[in-house]
Structure 1
Amino acid sequence: MLAFMLFTASVGLLVLLIIRRFFPSSSSSSSSLSNSLAPAPAPAGNNRSALAARSGSGLEPDARPIQRLLILYGTQTGTAERFARELDDIVRKKFATSPMKLDVETVDMEQYESRAKAGELANEPFVVVACATYGDGDPTDTAMGTHNYLVKDLPDSLESGHEHEALKGVTFAVFGLGNTQYEHFNAAAKALDKGLDALGAKRLCGMGLGDDDNDIEEDFRKWHESTLMPALVDAGFAGGVDQSKPSSEAAEATLAVPRSLDIAKEDKEANLSTIVASAASFYGTASHRVDATKVVARRELYTYGAGDANARSCVHVELDASALSTANSGSSTPLYETGDHVGVFAVNDDKVVNAYLKRFQLSANSVVRLLRPADAPNALEGPHCTAPVTIQTYLSRFCDLLSFPKKGVLMTLAACCKVDAERVMLLRLSSPEGKGDYKAEIVNKQRSLLQVVTELAPSANVSPGVLLGMLPKLQPRFYSISSASSRHPKHVHITCAVVSHDTPGGRWHDGVASTFLANVNVGDRVLAFIRTSTFRLPSSAATPLLCVGPGTGVAPFRAFVQARVDADERKREELDSPRAASGAAKSMAKMSLYFGCRRLSAEHMYEGELRDAAAGGILRLEVVSSRDGATAPHRYVQDLLARPEDAAAARKALLKDGGHLYVCGDAKHMAADVHRTLVGVLSSGDDGLRDAAEAETWLASASKSGRYQRDVW
């Protein structure tokens, strides 16, 4: 396919005439330092002079009426934020000739929470929300507060019958970001869309449903071009004037003229605390405290097949929690609860960073301060940190270097290409017409930006400011804490499977965070924070627990076991008598844990302590392997649950004894398979529910009440 694309590009003379119209050959540099960091500037300018001419101080004050638009976003991986900022740029361009003065504000839902609770949303004439769904159908961490307020808290606070008056003057639209491979596809966006409608806001247009399992970029483009923008015009937004070119390709080509971060040279790199403080938006310090915590222990849980395609490894890492505090806590007192998560800001592997430094001819030790130009489009990435740092530090700590580049990045790279055939090919990959090629050559092959430049566009001459303005932020990785706060109040335990595999594009991929944690040493410092979770043990130790956690999904259940053992010991101490006489074990309901892995001989994590808990009467442990035996059929945790004796025990625990059900691990396959099995288990037997529909209803009710909890990814 790639050969055919190159052939097509070489003969696309007519296309080249169009391309040259949008990408003039003039060159400019983002700053005076750019030439000292790279041998040549980008081949296209950034059109700042034209913008400056339009906004010069010599113009008369703008007396036009103001047209307000609020764009909110709730993001977990950065995509919703990027879409929101791109939409900001698109609206400004499309309505640039409007008789009204545009006032477009793009805000993180986390930052908007206090304003929403103060009633500001009711005064917004037009609101567009880009809302991602995360985990088990939940809003993202940053969107949680505003989402819950609008969907639940605000309606509950209003008098009955007056709910439809709260946002009566607001016109809104919602674009959801989800994945159809997950059970609760775009659940958070759907709930928000329904909630805003229930509060009396007027729906501007149909909700957009982006599917990351297919082509979420194309979903967003189609929605904003074919649905949102026409609806804004029809609603009279900014006077209803839209004189932009109808061709999305022409509009996007204009946006693709390389934009650059400004680079100022500095003498000395800031210390780590200053760097963190200068990167508040990157680290999200509005909702949690990020600190450098010391690694106090690290060990291999298992490793085998080194150098083999089937190699597997898992590490146990312990962090000193004394520097960490829970979300929204004003106290520096060490605190986390059993079931919480720890977020880790990893550092890119030196091999990857050095490859970027070499390809783009950057000086690793050059100390710079990155600044955002006043006229920069919202879609420009960064700067993720504004303190003086070396180029090596910025690439290592702040930039996502391994994810595949989005279409806007390909268009920017196209403008930097010296070879016309490469330029045409990149524009093809970034165009609506080339979405199939984009998926085949970029997404499916998991090509990183470095791979694209090396393999598809070797003539691309990208200046440092343009490069750093293209690289998205490196997101934190979250891990279920595998220790109980009752036993390890000052330490946080992490159970991390090391990701390492060959990509379809021929690149060996080492997971950023897992490789980082696999290589830390005792005494190293890691930037981390505690994220409060709803994955909690019931308040009563007499409540039965049914837990399903294959692989590293066992992590929170190891913590649960520790908590149950500690509670039992406290009970026995209170009674001051042997267990058999005290009956303490009888008051402690049994916890059933279903654990699965590929090979029990190699991957049965924490086997000793789990079997000790089982021997002590606290735990019923059931294990299964899916790969042991050359000819044996693959068996999984759901197969154990479906066994007649296990199914009967599950029905008794859940339907009769008020037990709680927990699932942790893979959301795409395992959690969905377990859910289907549970429906069958609960609707079978003389002691079961009538049918599958009633079982689904029971599970939905249990989920709402907190008796059915899932920590899935």
Structure 2
Amino acid sequence: MSSFIQIPEDAPFSADQRVWLGQFLSNLLAGAAAAAPQASGPAVPVTILWGSQTGNSEGLAKKLVKSLKKGNFEPEVFDMGAYDRGRLPQEKNLLIITSTYGDGEPPDNAAELYNFLLSDSAPRMEGVQFSVLALGDTNYPDFCKCGIDFDNRLEQLGASRFFQRIDSDVDYDGPFKQWSDGVLSVLAPAGAASGNGAAAVVEQAETGYSKKNPFPSGIVANYNLNGAGEKQTHHVSLSLDGSGLEYEVGDALGVYPLNPADVVDELMAALPFNTNTSVPLPDGGEAPLREALISSYDIGNLNKSLIQKWQARSGSPFLRSLVEADDKKAWDDFCWGRDLIDLVIDHPADFTDAEDFVGTLKKLQPRLYSIASSPKAHPGEVHLCVGIVRYNTYGRKRGGICSTFLSDRSNGLKPGVFVHSNKAFRLPENGETPVIMVGPGTGIAPFRAFLEERKISGAKGGNWLFFGNPYQATDFLYSEELTAFQKDGTLQRLDLAWSRDQKEKIYVQNLMVQQGAELWKWFQDGAAFYVCGDASRMAKDVDAALHTVAEQHGGLSKEDAAAWVNQLKKDKRYLRDVY
């Protein structure tokens, strides 16, 4: 078997060039054996582990399995939460595909394996070959941290990296192909089918509407769910008529926004080159600069990668010190509350032309929203519950690109949409299973869908919802619907936390602890537990409350309570849709 030649990081090549060159030299040194037809021998074992919060890593893992099955490989694919970690030292070829979410945390299904590998209990892994594909988002400071940690730890434990880790930004199709092609090119001399040479990832052409080909959806309803005040949460109904798109409760809807035209015009007026020109688009083709900035490029987020590129073209002493210091807190402080317009105005940079300028920018990405409707209750439609983000920083009014697009700038337009399947957030197959739902703020979205689905399907299991927001008078989202669900028996319990209606702040996690005895009883009756909303605070506090309930009302020690919660996750009885 050939081994991958790693080009030193200080070599005068980009990361992509180092990967390509390493792959080329590896194949070249393998000589004629790699190019000639290979005799069929014993199938090469390959184990793929995926860690995923919303399903992207799972989808890529399954795509890779299909490719491996075309060659002389024996692939196995596992959800990390269902994988027997005792197998680790015996693995031959281990492939890890994992995302990162929250503050650099592993996905829920990867957490137990992640914590085990990083502990002193982890086994030595000499003889194991591995490679890692890390999914992430450069808008977050801990970009791809989970995948990076897996990669580093496996090496520390003695495993051999046979193909270097690739870190993918939100657009993962290209990096996945680069990684999978590289992995297969190394494994292929031993695992290719006779006469096939190196196995190749076969991209099946997508048909119909999808992320790459979004459906132009008409908005059929769009109104504020809040009462009088500054807070805005919009109920948005979109038509799927003629799209062929189907979804299940628990799925998300991807929405492609447009950037504000007035901000784009301000940008163009401040740019130091002729803006009356066309530029390449991220997915091919070209368009006038103004149109491209409105529809295709991200002008609303600053991140480390962009600032590094910008600093190289700017004479700003401040940006230079920021880049050279490379301090996480300094990065966070500078990027928070600033957009591209701040760089253009406060830290001018030199660009050859418009193409050079857009070359520093990321593609404008779709936003994923938890679907707030059951397709059985609203045929031909999909509903969203969207918190409208508005704030003032550094003397400028700002807002969420997609939320303000839907609330302020979508009149007469048809947003491009697609369905993002989330198999990790499904209702129990058995309708008699009780369901406990915790969804403050816009976290109510999937649970409105759950309740509609449970009602129409005639599910007999009890339903219990914890909902919270600042003020009951103005922030009781879907109050009439929830009250109706109570009256018709669909919703057995509704616990409400209004954090600002009294001197002492009350949140959903406080109500969980208060109702701990009854909660524990529901769990003993087999209830499934769902959480939707903010990952960094609410979801962590809810998790802590769950441990407290197990200790106080289950009589468990801290260690046993933690084991009980982990078992809930393994049994798919503790599911989270957090962001």
Q: What is the TM-score normalised by the length of structure 1?
A: 0.59
Q: The residue matched to 1:385 in structure 2 has which SS?
A: coil
Residues 270-310 of structure 1: CA deviation (Å, up to 9, x unaligned): xxxxxxxxxx99x99887752111111111112644xxxxx
Partner of 2:62: 145
Q: The residue matched to 1:386 in structure 2 has which SS?
A: coil
Distance 2:51 2:88 in 1: 29
Is 208-217 or 457-466 further displaced after alignment? 208-217
Partner of 2:428: 538
Task: Mark the runs of 5 or more structure 2 residues left unpaired by the alignment.
Answer: 8-12, 31-40, 66-74, 165-203
Q: The residue matched to 2:537 in structure 1 has which SS?
A: helix
Aligned length: 506
Distance 2:79 2:498 in 1: 45
Return closer, same or farther for 1:563/1:541 CA change in 2, 3 Å cut-off.
same
Distance 1:228 1:183 in 2: 16
Return closer, same or farther for 1:189/1:518 CA change in 2, 3 Å cut-off.
farther
Q: The residue matched to 1:389 in structure 2 has which SS?
A: strand
Return closer, same or farther for 1:662/1:405 CA change in 2, 3 Å cut-off.
closer
Contact 1:410 1:427 (C-alpha < 8 Å) held by counterparts:
no
Q: Partner letter of residue 526 of structure 1?
A: P
Return closer, same or farther for 1:336/1:520 CA change in 2, 3 Å cut-off.
farther
Q: The residue matched to 2:464 in structure 1 has which SS?
A: strand
Q: The residue matched to 1:677 in structure 2 has which SS?
A: helix
Contact 1:341 1:479 (C-alpha < 8 Å) held by counterparts:
yes
Q: Are residues 1:452 and 2:452 paired?
A: no
Partner of 1:317: 236
Residues 541-580 of structure 1: CA deviation (Å, up to 9, x unaligned): 3221111111111111111111222234xxxxxxxxxxxx
Partner of 1:109: none
Contact 1:179 1:212 (C-alpha < 8 Å) held by counterparts:
no
Partner of 2:505: 634
Q: Are residues 1:676 and 2:567 paired?
A: no
Contact 1:218 1:435 (C-alpha < 8 Å) held by counterparts:
no
Partner of 1:609: 481
Contact 1:316 1:496 (C-alpha < 8 Å) held by counterparts:
yes
Q: The residue matched to 1:667 in structure 2 has which SS?
A: coil
Distance 1:314 1:211 in 2: 26
1:623 to 496, 514, 521: 496
Q: The residue matched to 1:302 in structure 2 has which SS?
A: coil
Partner of 2:461: 589
Q: Partner letter of residue 231 of structure 2?
A: R
Contact 1:357 1:363 (C-alpha < 8 Å) held by counterparts:
no
Task: Mark the runs of 5 or more structure 1 residues left unpaired by the alignment.
Answer: 1-65, 72-84, 104-118, 239-279, 306-310, 325-331, 371-382, 569-586
Q: Are residues 1:710 and 2:573 paired?
A: no
**C-alpha deviation, 1:701, in angstroms:** 1.7
Residues 507-526 of structure 1: CA deviation (Å, up to 9, x unaligned): 43200111111125565311
Q: Partner letter of residue 651 of structure 1?
A: W
**C-alpha deviation, 1:416, in angstroms:** 3.2
Distance 2:234 2:59 in 1: 29
Distance 1:162 1:230 in 2: 14
Return closer, same or farther for 1:552/1:467 CA change in 2, 3 Å cut-off.
same
Q: Partner letter of residue 232 of structure 2?
A: S
Q: Which of the two has higher C-alpha Rg? A: 1
Partner of 1:385: 283
Distance 1:237 1:411 in 2: 27
Return closer, same or farther for 1:695/1:529 CA change in 2, 3 Å cut-off.
same
Return closer, same or farther for 1:150/1:323 CA change in 2, 3 Å cut-off.
farther
1:516 to 405, 408, 415: 405
Distance 1:520 1:237 in 2: 46
Return closer, same or farther for 1:453/1:702 CA change in 2, 3 Å cut-off.
same
Residues 626-655 of structure 1: CA deviation (Å, up to 9, x unaligned): 0124xx100001111112xx2222112111
Partner of 1:528: 417
Return closer, same or farther for 1:294/1:499 CA change in 2, 3 Å cut-off.
same
Q: The residue matched to 1:403 in structure 2 has which SS?
A: coil
Q: Are residues 1:599 and 2:471 paired?
A: yes
Q: Are residues 1:403 and 2:301 paired?
A: yes
Q: The residue matched to 1:352 in structure 2 has which SS?
A: helix
**C-alpha deviation, 1:188, in angstroms:** 7.3
Q: Percent identity?
A: 26
Q: What is the TM-score normalised by the length of structure 2?
A: 0.72
Q: Are residues 1:338 and 2:249 paired?
A: yes
Contact 1:486 1:566 (C-alpha < 8 Å) held by counterparts:
yes
Contact 1:299 1:316 (C-alpha < 8 Å) held by counterparts:
yes
Partner of 1:63: none
Partner of 1:649: 518
Partner of 2:392: 502
**C-alpha deviation, 1:353, in angstroms:** 1.6
1:416 to 279, 299, 313: 313
Distance 1:211 1:341 in 2: 18
Q: Partner letter of residue 517 of structure 1?
A: L
Distance 1:202 1:286 in 2: 35
Return closer, same or farther for 1:606/1:404 CA change in 2, 3 Å cut-off.
same
Partner of 1:565: 455
**C-alpha deviation, 1:481, in angstroms:** 0.8
Return closer, same or farther for 1:216/1:684 CA change in 2, 3 Å cut-off.
closer
Contact 2:61 2:97 (C-alpha < 8 Å) held by counterparts:
no
Distance 1:676 1:199 in 2: 37
Distance 1:99 1:340 in 2: 42
Residues 196-234 of structure 1: CA deviation (Å, up to 9, x unaligned): x989643589x99999899547989x99xx999999xx9
Distance 2:263 2:112 in 1: 36
Partner of 2:265: 354
Return closer, same or farther for 1:462/1:153 CA change in 2, 3 Å cut-off.
same
